[in-house]
Structure 1
Amino acid sequence: MKTLLKPLLASVLLFSTLVAGGLHAQASTSGKPVAISADNAVLLTVFLKHDQSRNLNEIRTKLTEQELFKVFPPEGVEIVSWTIAMGIGHVIVLRFPASRLREVNLAIERSAW
């Protein structure tokens, strides 16, 4: 079954971390999302690879059907930039607390992958 999912999400690249100890930021003990701050924020660049067999409208329709725009980005995740680059596809830069990396990854996997 040929879908947009496999070629769409090519890779996730950790662009820059601002956390001194890596991705081991402490989660909130109350279970509430941790706010973005200088000592726990990461920038993540996500590439949604261009699918040459479809035009931009077809790709957008497929992403809408998969409800990407309802679940991505999760609440509390900041979109720094969202660029559609010719020959590359969607290039999305996100900023969020390091402890929320799993949540961001799941949002992409469940809706764009």
Structure 2
Amino acid sequence: MKKALLLGLFLLQFTGYSQSTDVKLSSEKSNDKLLLTIFLKHDQSMNLHEIEKIRTDQGFYENFPPEGTSVVNWFVVMGLGQMVVLELPASKLAAVNLAIERTAWKAFKSEIYPTYNLFPIIKDKLKNNAKVTY
């Protein structure tokens, strides 16, 4: 009984959140480019000077972001750390992961989320579809 319930919940996960098939997928529009949101969470046992020294010593600024990727946004999230949004071809995902592992891990704890831009799909449905650009 438990296995049947788990299987049903698993299948519901894929059917319940599907998008309409009449909309082109964003990867079709942008030649397999994706957005990658990276949270570089501050280790609060260190001060900013210590974090910066580790980052510099490990070659963070020379190796991140990797060749073939571009920074869309880079924010400070107060109380958390930094949030970086990269645009990259799917083939560069491993290179970004390695750059984070090799140059940021002692200074930060990281969380990485592949994302996509839903705004072009949903903007016509919104009452106020103004988009802020910086």
Specify if TM > 0.5.
yes
- Offset from partner CA, 1:41-60 (integer Å, 9 cap, x none): 10000111121122222211
- Work out which of the residue numbers 3, 27, 39 in structure 2 matches 1:47: 39
Structure 1 gap ranges (5+): 1-16, 21-36
- Write the distance in 1 (CA, Å) between the matches of 2:51 and 2:92: 27
SS at match of 1:57: helix
Which residue number corresponds to residue 101 of structure 2?
109
Deviations 1:25-76 (A, max 9, x none): xxxxxxxxxxxx7121100001111211222222111100111111111112
Relative to the length of structure 2, the TM-score reads: 0.55
Runs ≥4 residues deviating over 6 A: none
**Residue 75 of structure 1 aligns to which amino acid in structure 2?**
E
Rounded Cα–Cα distance in structure 2 between residues aligned with 1:102 and 1:50: 23
For residue 55 of structure 2, the aligned residue among 63, 87, 91 is: 63
Q: Give the strand-richer structure, 1 or 2.
A: 1
What letter is aligned with 2:51?
A: I
For 2:27 and 2:36, locate their aligned partners in 1 and report how far apart those are by CA, in whole Å: 13
CA distance in 2, matches of 1:91, 1:18: 22
Q: Percentage identity across aligned positions?
A: 51
Correspondent of 2:85 among 84, 89, 93: 93
CA distance in 1, matches of 2:78, 2:46: 13
Question: Cα offset for 1:105?
Answer: 0.8
Counterpart-to-counterpart distance in 2, 1:57 and 1:86: 17
Which structure's residues are more often helix, by fraction? 2
**Separation (CA, whole Å) in 2 of partners of 1:84 and 1:64:** 18
